[in-house]
Amino acid sequence: MKNRTMQEMNEQYKSCKSEKHEYQVGDEKCVIVRHYCGDRDINEVLYRNAFERAFSEVMEMHRHGQIAE
């Protein structure tokens, strides 16, 4: 995989639909721009999101002693 600069990626995805969100973190303003370029397998994305959420929930339950060891 070729490592691209932020400028190269901005140029490549400039025609794609995007979404911009601004967040305040402490004293800094953070701007997140998401580009929807359509090159992801939606099944893989959904599976990964579901797996990560389930894993984090199980780990949280384990930390609070809700799962017997």
* pTM of the predicted structure, to 2 decimals: 0.40
Phi, psi of 9 (to 5 degrees): -70, -40
DSSP string, 2-53: ----HHHHHHHTTTSEEEEEEEEETTEEEEEEEEE-S-S-HHHHHHHHHHHH
Q: What is the pLDDT of residues 16-59, one digit of tens each?
A: 888 899 999 889 999 988 877 777 777 888 899 999 999 999 99
pLDDT of residue 69: 53
